[in-house]
Amino acid sequence: MPCDPEALVDRIEAGHILTAEEAESLLATPDEATFRLVAAASRLRRRHFDRTVKVNYLVSLKTGLCPENCTYCSQRLGTEAEILKYTWLKPEEAVRQAGFGIAGGASRVCMVASGTGPTDRDVERVAGMVGDLKQQHPRVEVCACLGFLKDGQAQRLREAGVDAYNHNLNTAESKYPEICTSHTYADRVDTVTRADDAGLSPCSGLIAGMGETHAQLVEAILALRALDADSIPVNFLMPFDGTPLEGYWELTPLECLRILAVVRMACPEKELRIAGGREMHLRALQPIGLEVANSIFLGDYLTSEGQDAEADLAMIRDAGFTVLGASAGDAADEAAEAGATVELRRRGAGTDQRANA
């Protein structure tokens, strides 16, 4: 028997901490009752974030050519995905690309590099870029996502002005060996902890739809809560051609809403970001997702194209939300269009095509 979501939110507002059993019960909500679950979770969203949407913008500093073997990833070792592949962007190009997102309304820029983790020289390279970016855009938040961190690297990034560090747990510890064998779940926890200890705001999330059970999804969500990540990106698997999960598809738009609602109810005051796979899995229900999540990425992802940035901004505006800390600008008055296949990114960083921002 599923929990009554309204009664549960009453208790959460009074200090109750969602249990694993309750979370599993909520994930089992039937399709026809899912909007009721969303309405209950949206009370928590409004209490902590009102009607604002934080817009983030990804800049892929280095794309592809990773020696790790994460099953879901188009940049993994031996991938046959026909993604862009390039090594480090020049600092001025990284700052230029970030500027497109900031002009589009992003208050946080996520500077991401593929690979196991940075060398100290890479950290210095990123530190320089962040200094340049902050000089031009002093109010922007910068999140770095560079892989596993070694001694002193988180501290150096913090000194350079980096605000946050992203490193996703991705899935449950009990599922991890099935999705990656070149590193461990504990390695991932270690890097999030290092970032937190250095004063970087920890950002860590998950990828749903990789064959995990509801119990494993709950295990991952409660692990993120235990890590006390300030922001939680929820990705929905994008089954890239040329990866082991090519063609794998188990999510529905309503299941995605249930997952978002459970993350909100488990972590009511945390920044919840709908991340990769938003367009292809939520489809027409993307704006309903904003009733629960309070953040999205603008425009494109690391190796795939998102819907047009103008459509993202129009969606925010049309659903009655406002972009946090920025004007939504002249958002197009168009509905978001569903994409049933992964569109490989061919614009923005690493190309001479204008960014989708």
Applying CB under 6 A, the residues found at the interface with ligand SF4 are: 66, 68, 70, 73, 75-76, 114, 147
Is 36 annotated in a binding site? The answer is: no
* Closer to ligand SF4 by Cβ: residue 101 or 276: 276
Q: Smallest distance, Å, CB 2 to ligand SF4?
A: 34
Token digits of residue 50: 């009102």
- Is 110 annotated in a binding site? The answer is yes
Annotated catalytic residue, options 43, 45, 70, 145: 70
- Identity of residue 149: L
The separation between CA 14 and the C-alpha centre of its own chain, rounded to angstroms, equals: 29
Q: For the CB of residue 173, give the shortest distance to ligand SF4 in the complex, in Å.
A: 16
Q: Is the dihedral of CA 294, 311, 286, 202 positive or negative?
A: negative
Identify the CA nearest to 307 among candidates 265, 276, 271: 276
| 267 marked ligand binding residue | no
From 3, 43, 66, 125, the catalytic residue: 66
Three-state DSSP state, 338: coil
Q: Is 3 annotated as a binding residue?
A: no
Residues written for the chain: 357
Which of 73, 200 has the CB closer to ligand SF4? 73
CB of 65 to ligand SF4, least distance (A): 9
The two beta strands, 164-166 and 201-203, are: parallel
Which residue among 45, 76, 125, 143 is the active-site one? 143
Task: Give Cβ neighbours of residue 321 (< 8 Å, ≥ 6 apart).
Answer: 51, 52, 53, 290
CA distances from 31 to 37, 221, 257 (A): 10, 21, 10
Distances (CA, A) of 34 to 41, 262, 267: 11, 11, 19
- The Cα 51–Cα 5 span in angstroms is 21
Q: Return the closest-CA partner of residue 25 out of 249, 212, 266.
A: 266
Nearer to ligand SF4, 68 or 141 (CB): 68
In the residue annotation, 145 being an active-site residue is answered as no
Residue 341 CB coordination number (10 Å): 11
Question: Could you tell me the smallest distance in angstroms from the CB atom of residue 141 to ligand SF4?
Answer: 22
Residue 51 bears catalytic tag:
no
Among 76, 158, 273, 345, the one annotated catalytic: 273
| Catalytic-labelled residue, pool 203, 258, 264, 278 | 203
203 is in an annotated binding site: yes
180 among annotated binding-site residues: no
- Output 116 or 136, the one with its CB closest to ligand SF4: 116
Give the SS3 label for residue 140: coil
> Cβ closer to ligand SF4: 102 or 237?
237
Q: Is 3 a catalytic residue?
A: no
Q: Is 225 labeled as ligand-binding?
A: no
Name the 3-class secondary structure at 52. Answer: strand
CB of residue 207 vs ligand SF4: minimum separation in angstroms?
9
Annotated binding site for [2Fe-2S] cluster: 110, 143, 203, 273
Annotated binding site for [4Fe-4S] cluster: 66, 70, 73
Residues tagged active-site:
66, 70, 73, 110, 143, 203, 273
Annotated binding site: 66, 70, 73, 110, 143, 203, 273
